[in-house]
Structure formats: C-alpha cells, structure tokens
Structure 1
Amino acid sequence: MLLKIILGILGLGIVVFIHELGHFTAAKIFKVKVLSFSIGWGPVLLRKKIGTTEYRLSAIPLGGYCGMEGETAYQKALEENLPEIPLEEGSLYSVNPMKRILIAVAGPLFNLLFAAIALVIYSSIPYTYYTTPAQVILASEYDSQYENFPAETSGLKTGDIIKKIDGKNVSNFDEITKFISINPGKELKLEIERNGQAMELTLIPKLNPETGTGEIGVYPYIKPVIRDVGHDSKAMKSGLKTGDKIIEINGIPVENTLQINKIIGNPDIDSLKIKYLTAGNSEKDTTINFDSSGERKIGITWEYIAVTEKSQGFFDSIYKGIKGTIQMTALTIKSFGLLFKGIDITKAVSGPLRITYMLGEVTSAGFSAGISQGILVLMNFLAIINISLFIMNLLPIPVLDGGLVLLSLIELISRKRIKPKFMYYFQTVGAVIILMLIIFAFWMDISFFVK
C-alpha cells in the first residue's frame, strides 16, 4: 500500500512540476520575475533561493505553484485607492496582454506536450493484450437491468459476430467496447454476421451516467474451451484439461461461458455433472462437487485471443503519439461536455486523493506484470491526467489559467486596462468557485475510500 501511495504522489508530482515549469519558462522568457516555484502546497519543507526565485518543496504533494511578481497587485491598488494596477518593472501586469496570455497558456501547453511525449514512449514499446472474439451475447438474456438496451432494441442477437462499426473493421471484443464507449448518443451502423449471413443494423449507444461512456448491453461470447486449469483446483481434480470443451452441465447444453457461470453461480446447485469433448474430440463425463464453505470457483481459465502490438519505428512512434494525443484530447473535451448532459457528476469526478490512489494502483499493478507493462500503464495514465489538466486549466474560470487568458483578451480587444475593483470581484468569484470544487472533490474522494 505504501508503495502505491509513493508511486501515486510521484506521478502527480511530475504532472504538477511540468505544468508549473511551463509558467516558469514563459515568465522567464518575457522578463517577469518569478518569486517562488513550489512543488506541493502548505508549509515549506525545503527551500533554496537562486537569483530572484525561491525554489520550494512543500508539505502537501497534491499541487504546486509558480508565484510571479505583481500577481496580486490589484489588492495593493484597492488598498491605496489607485485607479489602476501599478506597473512595476518585472511584474506580471507590466507586460502586454499577449505576453500574459502566453505565460498563462504555457502551463497547460507543457502538460499537452508531456502527454504527447508519454504517448510517443507508449507507442515505441511492444505489448500483448488478451481479449475475446468479436462475437456477442445479449446482456438482457442474463440480467434484467439491460432490458430494452440498444443491442436488444436494434435486433442484435446472441451469437452475432460484429464485423464493422461505421465502416471500420473490428476484430475482437475490446475494439467493439472501445468504439461503443466513446460514442454515446451517436447513431452507429453495424455490419454483422449471423449464421454465416451478412446483415446490417443501426443502434445508438446509451450514455452510462456513472462513467460518461456509451454502452449497448452486450457481453463477450466466449466458447467454453479450457485454456488452463488451476493447480489443485476442483477442475484439475475432476480430470479436466487444457483443450477440453464443455458441452453440457447437469443435462443443460452450454455454448458459451456465461451459461456456465450462471449455473455455477446458482447456490442451490451442489454438484456439476459435466459432459465435455477432449482435445482429441472424445466425449467424456466428470463431476465437480461443492462443499459447505460456499466457495464456487472451479479453477478454469477460458480460451482467449492474444493480440500483440509491435513496437513502432522512431517516426511512426511520433506520428502515433501525436495522433493519440489529438484523439485523447477530443475524447476528454467530449467527456467534459457530458457533465451537462445527465452524467452523474458525483461518480464521474475524481479529486487529487483518488487520482493519486488510482495512479499508484494502476502503476503498481502494471510493474508487477513486468517493467514494460508498468511503463505502458504509467505513460498512458500520465497522458490522461496531463490532457485533463490541459483542458481544465484553460476553462475561462477566474483563478485558473483560462481566467487570466480571458482578462488579457478583454484588455487586448478593448485596449483598456482592467480596473482593480473588477479584478478583485472577478478573482473573488473564482476563488469561491474553486474552493467549492475542491471541497466537492475531496468529499467525493473521501466517500470513495469509505465505500
């Protein structure tokens, strides 16, 4: 657990450092004094002053800041009843609005650049993932909550093989899920194969209000062919082996693993009379008995597809990294838009505590599967966080970078300097909004950990 927390904090620290480094670099370029550069908030643990800048490491590692000369000069103007913000040399408001805009957007742009670099690294590493064929089962046949979902109402049937979605080939269930998840509310044309016959149908993925993703109500159709039998498991003791295909349980014919799982999950069944075909196509019988402990696992791993993504060359990795950044940015913007379209914000929003936990969790799990897998997971997650930070910080909300961009644009277009009183009200409203969002995010995080 401690390792996961450390990994999460380090990951989030990198993201914050990159963001603040963007502001710092732009400020230095445009001769704006940087008074402090901190990783973390709260009490300062370490500090070192170089030139006019004090570099800090602060106690709360869930943020950071780049303090520039004159950022709060509007407060001084109000206190001294000045008509305009004083323009001291090296202060933020002493440079022209265009330079201020560039300083403001530099932080988010550095996050976007880092996301692209992370995805370039991701594209350069070969990896294998495991999935199932592009054959589906109607979820409504096994779970009533999926009744009248798009798959059922469109005419899709259990056993159908999806060949194309909107003209794009799909070769496995993961590709189907990915395509459906990013297109909630959009009409999609499916080309399918049913009993050897080609067919077409259309459906509109339903928005899942908890995740903000689309879903149609299907499960993967997995044929009951055994890939592996756990050591000393019920299945091994019964004589089942790799390559065996289960065809009947307790007199009920089975064609997919979901049917088997439903039978095994029935607490009223205390034994399984199994009929199966061996790898040599011989028909055999065996029995698995359940004891009073309530343990229903039998120790079988089903056949799956191993898909290997080869490493890309240098230029191909750059191309795929940039393309992936554009696609991920577009998807994230779309996800932000869903916050206003019925998505359950209490379940879709994560605060810094939960993000840190998730980052540590997935990174730790990735590295436990191997160094390459760990790097892949880390790069992908860092790309997601950086792109989210890029978009969020450019929102025209006071206190955020987008708020400074908005004020500077107003000044640039009107050719009039912003009055201190307007700046005060603008920043106060922003501070209240951000404080409410922080409290909400922390409350959601605490609720998540309690649950």
Structure 2
Amino acid sequence: MLEWLRTPAAIVFVFGIVIFVHELGHFIAAKLMGVYAPRFSIGFGPALLSHKWGETEYILAALPLGGYVRMASREDESMAFLEGGSEKPAPGEEAGANGAPAILAQPLPRYYDPNGMAPFGPKPVPENRWLESKSLIARLFIMLAGVTMNFVLGFLIIAGIFITAGEVVYQTREIGDVAMFSSTDSTFQGLAAGDTILSVDGHAVETWNDISERIVADGGASLVITTNRGTTTIPVQDSGVHSRVVIAGGVLRPNLPAVVGQVVSGKPGERSGLKVDDSVTAVNGVPVRGWFGLVRQIESSPGRALTLSVRRGGNALDVKVTPDSTPDVNPITQRDTVLGKIGVAIKDLGARHPIPFGDAIKSAWLTTWGNAGLIVQTLHRLLTGHQSVKGLAGPVGVGVQAGQAAQQGWQSLLSLLALLSINLAVVNLVPIPILDGGQILIMVAEAIKGRALAARTRVLLFYGGFSAIVLLFSIVTFNDLSSLVRRIFHH
C-alpha cells in the first residue's frame, strides 16, 4: 500500500467495520423478528451498486464509513418517500375534499411496494411488520443486537490475536519505572525503579506476567506489593490511577532492555540515524535503566537536544536527537502538558509462548470486559466531574490513532479496531434518546406506563439527546483539532 494512502485507508477500515457490524446486528435481529426492513446499506451517500433480494434492497454506497438499516417504524415519516411508501393525498382529501372519504379520526396507513410499482398499486405495510407491533422483548432484542455484535467483534478479534500471536512472557520481576504521572502521588513512593517484586497480595510471583495478573485478579480494597526493600500498601479505587487495571498496565513498568524495535519514518529517531536493534545505554552520559528509563528521559526533554549512547553490533557510538514536543493531558491533574517523542518503539524481546485455546478464550473474555469496564469508569468520572473532557478523543483523534496503528502493523490496527468496537458498544448503551440505550429506556418506560409517550415528549427527548451528542462531538473535535495545532506549532 502506498504510504500516503495508509492513514485514510486505516480510517475507512476501522470506522467502516465497527459501524457496519453494529447496523448488521440491528438488521439481522429485525429480520428474525419479522420487522419490515426495506433497505440495508454498506456506507452512505449515492449508491454505487444495489440489488434487491426479496423485500430488501442491499446497497453499496459511495462513502464506506459504516452503514445503516431502515426499518418500518411509525416514527419514520420518510418511509413514505424512500420506499414508495404511501400515496400522499392531495391537500384537503383527508377532510373529504375531491370526493375522498373523511379520515380525520383515524391514522393514515403507510404503504410499501416491493416491486417498485408505487404509482400504480401500493400496498399497505401489514400491521404485524411494524417495529411498534412487536412485543417489548422483541424490540429490546432488536435494539440490543447492535451493541451485542460490537462486543462479539471485539471479543473475536482479541481472541484471534491471543490464539495466533500467543503470549509474550517477560522473565523479570524488576521495576523499570514508576510512571511519571504518578510521581507526585505519595501512595507509590514505596516503589522505585530497580526494586524487585517478590509477591503481590501475598502471592509469590516469578515473571512480570504473574505480577500483572495478580494485581488485576484480586478484588481487595488494598493492593499489597512486597519488594526486596519492603512492603507497600496502595489503596485501590474503582477508577483512575489507583485502579488495579491502571496500576498493572500504566503505573508499574518492567525493566526491559532498551533495544529499538521500530523507527517511525520522518520522526526525530530516524532523522538522527537510530536503527532497529540499536541498544541505548545512556542519555547525556547518564546510564538508563532499561526501556522505560529511556522513555522517561525522552518524555521529560521535549525540544531539548539529547546525546544517546548506543551500541550497534559490536560498536559504540553517540547519536544526537532532539525530541518532538508532543501535547498531552496529565491523567491526574487533567492539565495540558508537553512530552518529548522521537518516534521509536521497543523491540519485543520477551519469550513468546503459544496459549492453549481455552486459556486464549478466557483471556480474551477478561480483556473484553476489562476494556468495557474502563470505558464505563471513564464515563462515570466524566459525569461526576472527576475527569475533564480534555482527555477525550473524537473521530479526528481516532483517525490519527488508526494511521499510527497501521504503520505499526496489522496486529496494532486490529487491536485498535477491537477497542473501538467495544467502546462503541458501551457508549451506545448510554440512556440518551438518540442512542440505543435511550431507545431502550423509552421502550421500557412505555411498557410500564402501558401506552406510548406523547409525540411532543418524544420530539423533545430526541432533540435533547441530539443536542447532547452534537455538544459532545463538538468538544471532542475541538480537542482533536487543538491537539493537531499544538503538534504543528511545537514540532
């Protein structure tokens, strides 16, 4: 693939698949429940290809960013126009003008025309084919099918990665770094680079994989880590830097060799002459403690010239590099910060072991629900004011991530696809009327009341939800564009 096509292709791939799979779930469920679904489109905009199979028109549209399914719903007035759906009466005919029967006291029927003969003989949509005619359970099944498909997609991708790639085991118990963003947190001050972890919550550990699994596995209110220097007790919270998932995946980092595994084209690392398999031993003459010690030095030096001591083969040499200044958000203070980046990635030197099928499925299940839990925690923190919207990424930000993942290879791109699919599933369950969660809430409310909500109430709820989504979309897009602008001016 041409380099300049990689990012847009990755964006189409990621967004297109997660939205298409979501709509496919709704479509299949609607068909199973007997709801009339006259159109299923892959993509948006003008149709490039279309084929009518049975009563449904299948379309491949010009803009392949997702898709949509159209179902017979009494709320969808456009059914009349898009499907040849109703014979529109002339003005006044509803009241009996032009010899037409007066029908003011009854609802107008909708029509559909499976043979494209609407001008000559439209047929009314049977009452049992409308979405509203179905039982509450059937309608909930249709609404939940989209998010279910997204969860399934995420799970299958993660399981496939575990099965095909296996597990990398890091034969170390030594801490390489305690993440910079937690350095001012006193609860982590009992842990430091160079410490060897002996046990977690009373369980002895042999590898870094054991350490991560033990941190996440125990659900206690405190995390007890014993090292060669003593024991540290960390209060555990459901979210944030004190959550077990974040401690395992973001705060404590293993001591891994500082060997370059990838050099990104056009970044300072490439321009300075760094190459794959280079081993970095010191920064400005100060020895580094493994890869994450190197990362800390680089991140804390945006825009400042550094001299890296490198071993290449049997030779020692110095490489001069100036890290790019990359805007970021501190996950604790939620304040803007700037980190140094040179565009290199670590070489995977862990021992790769195949995972038995059953263990891979179990790990994929735990990873899927773990990611979903993190998204729920983030939403909760946003709603309670414990997290700023500055850290949120929108379509532009996800597009940038997709391009970066595409450069790193298929596994990275598929991992992003899985995470985005799970993200879409969770967000769609938020009870905002325009989302699936909001539709489900309305259905349940109507079932409890025993009657449909008034049309005015539905309109107000819809526009309220729509306004909330537009506001959030505007905020995250502003975040994305601001980040891009800062990157350009800091470059």
Alignment partners' CA distance in 1, 2:170 and 2:481: 34
| 1:338 maps to 2:381 | yes
Alignment partners' CA distance in 2, 1:360 and 1:268: 28
Of residues 451, 456, 460, the one that matches 1:425 is 460
Aligned length: 402
1:139-184 alpha-carbon deviations (Å, 9 max, x no partner): 69xx7983444322xx33443212333345655567767987999x
**Cα contact 1:182–1:213 (8 A) shared by 2:** no
- How do residues 290-305 of structure 1 correspond to structure 2 at under 5 angstroms? 305=349
1:393 Cα offset (Å): 1.1
Alignment partners' CA distance in 1, 2:77 and 2:369: 38
Q: Where does residue 306 of structure 1 map in the other structure?
A: 350
- How do residues 136-285 of structure 1 correspond to structure 2 at under 5 angstroms? 136=175, 146-152=183-189, 155-167=190-202, 187-194=222-229, 199-204=230-235, 207=240, 213=246, 220-221=254-255, 256=289, 258=293
1:88 Cα offset (Å): 4.2
Q: Where does residue 70 of structure 1 map in the other structure?
A: 73
Amino acid at match of 2:228: E
Q: Structure 1 pair 44/415, CA: closer, same or farther in 2 (3 Å)? A: same
1:411 Cα offset (Å): 2.0
SS state of the match for residue 125, structure 1?
Answer: helix
SS state of the match for residue 228, structure 2?
Answer: strand
What are structure 1's unaligned runs of at least 5 residues?
280-285, 296-300, 367-373
Of residues 396, 416, 436, the one that matches 1:353 is 396
Q: Where does residue 34 of structure 2 map in the other structure?
A: 31
| 1:447 maps to 2:482 | yes
Cα RMSD (Å) of the superposition? 5.0
1:46-99 alpha-carbon deviations (Å, 9 max, x no partner): 4333333222333443342211112525899xx999898979442221222221
Q: Normalized against structure 2, the TM-score is what?
A: 0.65
Q: Where does residue 365 of structure 1 map in the other structure?
A: 408
Of residues 40, 48, 65, the one that matches 2:51 is 48
Amino acid at match of 2:14: G
What are structure 2's unaligned runs of at least 5 residues?
81-93, 95-102, 110-125, 262-268, 324-344
Alignment partners' CA distance in 1, 2:145 and 2:171: 43
Amino acid at match of 2:200: I
| 1:384 maps to 2:419 | yes
**Cα contact 1:173–1:220 (8 A) shared by 2:** yes
Bigger drift between 57-66 and 95-104 goes to 57-66
Alignment partners' CA distance in 1, 2:412 and 2:466: 35
Alignment partners' CA distance in 1, 2:212 and 2:394: 26
Alignment partners' CA distance in 2, 1:131 and 1:44: 51
Alignment partners' CA distance in 2, 1:361 and 1:396: 33
1:6 Cα offset (Å): 0.9
Amino acid at match of 2:354: K
**Cα contact 1:20–1:107 (8 A) shared by 2:** yes
**Cα contact 1:353–1:445 (8 A) shared by 2:** yes
Alignment partners' CA distance in 2, 1:26 and 1:323: 26
Q: Where does residue 110 of structure 1 map in the other structure?
A: 149
Q: Structure 1 pair 11/303, CA: closer, same or farther in 2 (3 Å)? A: closer
SS state of the match for residue 61, structure 2?
Answer: strand
Alignment partners' CA distance in 1, 2:369 and 2:307: 54
| 1:57 maps to 2:60 | yes
SS state of the match for residue 159, structure 1?
Answer: coil
Amino acid at match of 2:387: I
Alignment partners' CA distance in 1, 2:232 and 2:140: 49
Alignment partners' CA distance in 2, 1:359 and 1:179: 31
Q: Where does residue 140 of structure 2 map in the other structure?
A: 101
**Cα contact 1:150–1:217 (8 A) shared by 2:** no
Q: Where does residue 339 of structure 2 map in the other structure?
A: none
1:294-353 alpha-carbon deviations (Å, 9 max, x no partner): 89xxxxx9998513131423x4443433333333333332233232352232223x2233
SS state of the match for residue 417, structure 1?
Answer: coil
Alignment partners' CA distance in 1, 2:24 and 2:448: 28
Q: Structure 1 pair 268/384, CA: closer, same or farther in 2 (3 Å)? A: closer
In percent, how many aligned pairs have the same letter?
Answer: 24
Q: Structure 1 pair 2/288, CA: closer, same or farther in 2 (3 Å)? A: closer
**Cα contact 1:97–1:411 (8 A) shared by 2:** no
Q: Where does residue 2 of structure 1 map in the other structure?
A: 5
Q: Structure 1 pair 162/431, CA: closer, same or farther in 2 (3 Å)? A: same
Q: Structure 1 pair 59/441, CA: closer, same or farther in 2 (3 Å)? A: farther
Amino acid at match of 1:203: I
| 1:437 maps to 2:472 | yes
**Cα contact 1:116–1:325 (8 A) shared by 2:** yes
1:252-277 alpha-carbon deviations (Å, 9 max, x no partner): 8x5845499969x89899998x9x9x
**Cα contact 1:132–1:220 (8 A) shared by 2:** no
Q: Where does residue 406 of structure 1 map in the other structure?
A: 441
